[in-house]
Structure 1
Amino acid sequence: MGEMINADGVGLWVERQGKGPDVLLIAGLGDPAEAWQSQLDGLADRYRLTAFDNRGAGRTALPEGLLSVPRMADDAAALLGALDVPNAHVAGFSGGSFIAQELALRHPRLVRSLVLTSTCARPDAYFLSMTRFWNWMVERAPDERAMLEAFYLWIYTPRAHADGTVDRMIEEALAFPHPQSVEAFQRQLAAFLSHDTLDRLGRITAPTLVLAGENDIATPPRLGRVVAERIPGARFAVLPGEAHQPFQEVPDLFNDRVDAFWREVEAQG
C-alpha cells in the first residue's frame, strides 16, 4: 500500500517496495506510480524502489500557479529528503526523464546514477506538432476510451496493439480510481514542452544510461542519442523493435538492462 508523503509542503503519493540500494522511479505524462508496477515487483528483491505521483497525476494534487519541470525536480529532491534517502539511482521515463535530468542538474548529490528512457534534451518540431494534437485531442475526444485509443497509437508497438496488451492497458486505465483531469494533462504537457537542458547536460556527473526504443515515434532514438552525447561518459542503447514504453511492454528485458547498469555502478563504489 502506498502513502501520502509531505515533501517540503507538497503531498506526494508514494509507492515503495523492496530492500537494497535506493532507486527513484519518475513517471511521465499522466502516469501514476503504478506505471512502474513491473519494476516495483520485478526488482524488489535487489533494490528499495520508490515510485510516486507527480503533481497533477494520480493522487497528487495539481498545484495553483506555474507547473514546471524544475519545480517537479525539486519535488523529487524533497521526497528523497522526506524519506531520509541520501542518494538514489534515478530512472525517468519520457517526461519523467526530463524531470530526472533537472534533478541531476539541480541536486547532483542526490543522484547516484541516471537511467533516461524515451528521452530528449529539447523538443523538436515533430514533438511540438505531435503534442499540439494531444492537447487538442484530450479536449475533443468523445470519451476517455476514445482518447486513450488514439493516444496509445504513439505509445505502444503494433505488436502490443495486436496481442491485446493495449486493450488491457486501456481497461486498467479506465478502472483506475484517480484519473487525470484534462487541465492536469494539459498543464503537465505544457511543462514538458518547455523542457530544455541541451546546453546544460555537460554538467551532469552521474553515471548515465540512455535507452531508446527503435520504433519510438514520440521520442525517436535520434533524440536520445543527443542526450547521451551531451552527458560526459553516458552510454546509449537502442532496444530493437520497441516503442515508447519498453519498461511496460518488455519489462524483463528492461529490468535486466537497468539492473546490470546499477550493479556496475554499485561495484565501482
Structure 2
Amino acid sequence: MSYVSVNGFNHYYEWVTEAGTQEPTGKPVFVFIHGWGGSARYWESTAREFSDRFDCLLYDMRGFGRSRSNVSESPLAEPPETAAELSYELESYADDLAGLLDALGLQRVSLNAHSMGASVATFFLNLYADRVDRAVLTCSGIFEYDEKAFNAFYKFGGYVVKFRPRLLYGLPFIDRLFMQRFLHRPLPTAISRSFLNDFLMADYGAALGTIFTCVSKKATEVMPQEFARLTVPTLLISGERDIIIPAEMGRQAAALSDKIQYVVIPDTAHFPMLEDPSTYLQLVREFLGVSIVQPSVASSRE
C-alpha cells in the first residue's frame, strides 16, 4: 500500500499500469476520483481498460476508503486533531487533489470523477485549469434548493452515518439491499460487498461533513456558476435511470457551458461505468481521442 501526506492527512493511492508496475511508466496520467462513501476500489476495472494509453492514478479521498484516520476501527471515532481542523468543503477536497499531484510530481493530468468526486473535480477544473487536459464527470449535475427536503435529507443522512454497525457486513444479502438504490443492473457480489465495506468504515466526520457540503443551499448557488466557468473540455455522463443524481440534473449542468459534451447511457443508474462498461468505455475513449491498442500480428510467408 502507498500513502502520501497531503494537508496533514495520509492519502492512499495506487497506480494501474499496463505493465502492472506501482510507479508511472511515462504515459499520460489519468486520475480517477470516487464518490461519497466509496473508495478507489470501484474504479479499478475501468482504469485497467485505459492502461493501454494511460498510467492510471487511483486514490481514496480524505476520510474514505483507506485514507481513514486509523484511530479506531469504529466509524464513530473522531478523526485526529490535524484532520479535524480540515474543512469538508468540496473546494478543500480539490486542494487535496492538487496537493496529491504535487507530492507525486505530476504537473498535468486528465480526470475521471464520479458523483461527489465529480463535484470536487468541477472545483478543481476551475481552480487548477492549467493542470488538466480533459475531464470526464460521471453522474453529476445541479439541483434546486428545497429547505424542507434538504432538512429531511440531513436528518436521514445523519442517522444512516451514525448507526453503521460493523456486524451488517456479515449479514447475508445486505450488500444487495445496500446497493439496490444506486443500481438499475446488479453488480457482482464482490463489488457490492466492497461498496458496503467502504461505507461502514468511512470516517464519521468526513461522511457526515460531506453530506452537508454536497447537498446544501450553497451548493445549489455555487455549482451552476462552477459549471458555467469551465474552460477545460469536459464529458458529462449520466445514467438514464439514476435516482441519486437524475439525468435531468446533468442535462441542466451541461447546458451551462459549451465546453461540456453531454451523454446519457440507457438502462443504467448511478454507476454506468460498472452497469454497462462497454458503452461507457467507448464513450470515454471517443471523447479522449484514443482507441484500443490492437496486438500486432506478424505475417509469414510459406
TM range (shorter): 0.7 to 0.9
Query: Unaligned regions of 5+ residues in structure 2, if any?
Result: 18-24, 69-78, 291-302
The question of 1:115 aligning with 2:142 is answered no
The farther-off stretch of 89-98 and 171-180 is: 171-180
The question of 1:154 aligning with 2:154 is answered no
Q: 2:38, 2:199 within 8 Å by CA — same for their partners in 1?
A: no
In the TM superposition, residue 155 of structure 1 has moved relative to its aligned partner by: 0.8
Q: 1:58, 1:178 within 8 Å by CA — same for their partners in 2?
A: no
TM norm structure 1: 0.85
Aligned mate of 2:193, from 171, 196, 202: 171
Q: 2:164, 2:200 within 8 Å by CA — same for their partners in 1?
A: no
Partner Cα distance (1:243, 1:110) in 2: 30
Instruction: Note the aligned Cα RMSD (angstroms).
Output: 2.7
Partner Cα distance (1:94, 1:123) in 2: 17
Letter in structure 2 aligned against 1:135: G
Partner Cα distance (2:198, 2:226) in 1: 37
Matches within 5 A, 1:166-245: 167-173=189-195, 179-194=201-216, 195=219, 196-245=222-271
Task: Classify the secondary structure of the residue corresponding to 1:76.
Answer: helix
Q: 2:230, 2:259 within 8 Å by CA — same for their partners in 1?
A: no
Match of residue 62 from structure 2: 55
In the TM superposition, residue 138 of structure 1 has moved relative to its aligned partner by: 3.5
Partner Cα distance (1:115, 1:154) in 2: 23
Match of residue 298 from structure 2: none
Match of residue 100 from structure 1: 121
Letter in structure 2 aligned against 1:68: E
In the TM superposition, residue 228 of structure 1 has moved relative to its aligned partner by: 0.8
Match of residue 70 from structure 1: 91
Match of residue 135 from structure 1: 158
Task: Classify the secondary structure of the residue corresponding to 2:3.
Answer: strand
The farther-off stretch of 181-190 and 167-176 is: 167-176
TM norm structure 2: 0.76
Task: Classify the secondary structure of the residue corresponding to 1:197.
Answer: helix
Q: 1:38, 1:247 within 8 Å by CA — same for their partners in 2?
A: no
In the TM superposition, residue 82 of structure 1 has moved relative to its aligned partner by: 1.6
The farther-off stretch of 234-243 and 109-118 is: 109-118
In the TM superposition, residue 149 of structure 1 has moved relative to its aligned partner by: 4.7
Letter in structure 2 aligned against 1:171: R
Task: Classify the secondary structure of the residue corresponding to 2:223.
Answer: coil
Aligned in 2, Cα 1:241/1:187: closer, same or farther, shift over 3 Å?
A: same
